[in-house]
Chains A and B, each alone.
Chain A
Amino acid sequence: AIQLTQSPSSLSASVGDRVTITCRASQGISSALAWYQQKPGKPPNLLIYDASTLERGVPSRFSGSGSGTDFTLTISSLQPEDFASYFCQHFHNFPAITFGQGTRLEI
């Protein structure tokens, strides 16, 4: 089964910082990767799909890149509302869902 490994598992940053989170797949998955933001007590919120396509309504400071096994989520200039957890996701053996273990972004 494909595994998604995120790094780092937690990250401390400040408002205005540029932040990059990495997701590595255990085998090639082309561009079939999504990124979500999750805040406490809320369901995940889709940010990026197909590795680099910004979901409608998501601020342009979020961007995604990568293909094959290595992917990144970048926040160009952190805003106070961006402090949350972030997960990568892939449909392996659809409809089963594989998630990365998450990255907690803290102030």
Chain B
Amino acid sequence: EVQLLESGGGLEQPGGSLRLSCAASIFTYSDYVMSWVRQAPGKGLEWVSSISGSGDSTYYADSVKGRFTISRDNSQKTLYLQMNGLRAEDTAVYHCAAYYYDSSAVDYWGQGALVTVSS
């Protein structure tokens, strides 16, 4: 059974930094695009960032561009999100998500990690 397990969430002050990790139990991890999707309390789903299977290509939502950095370690089957310059509006549950290049839906979701930005 495929599992995605996020860690690294917590409380941080505005302007601070946090690093999220997502450990995957996927046999062919490098075949999957990996993404971060967040959900603010009581709100809908918002795509944050994606990275190609090889890690060569990265993509960001305008709301986080220049502040967040996505990366992956295929040898460790782990996805990362370095979040700098945190703002109150970044408060959300952050889910990692995995899907094939030819998928028409997200294949796997993590349970999520709560990030709270507050002074």
Q: Contact residues of A with B, CB < 8 Å? A: 32, 34, 36, 42-44, 46, 49-50, 55, 87, 89, 91, 94-102
Is the pair A102, B47 in contact by a Cβ cutoff of 8 Å? no
Interface residue from B47, B110, B111, B112 paired with A97 (Cβ < 8 Å): B47
Is the pair A89, B59 in contact by a Cβ cutoff of 8 Å? no
Interface SS of chain A: helix, strand, loop or mixed?
A: loop
Interface residue from A34, A50, A87, A95 paired with B35 (Cβ < 8 Å): A95
Report the tally of A-B residue pairs with Cβ distances under 8 A: 54
Measured as residues with beta carbon below 8 angstroms from the partner, the interface class of chain B is 20 to 34
Q: List 15 A-B contacts (CB under 8 A).
A: A32-B104, A36-B105, A43-B95, A44-B109, A46-B105, A89-B105, A91-B104, A95-B33, A95-B35, A96-B59, A97-B45, A97-B47, A97-B106, A99-B46, A100-B44
Is the pair A102, B105 in contact by a Cβ cutoff of 8 Å? no
In the assembled complex, the CB of A65 is this many whole angstroms from the nearest CB of chain B, namely 15
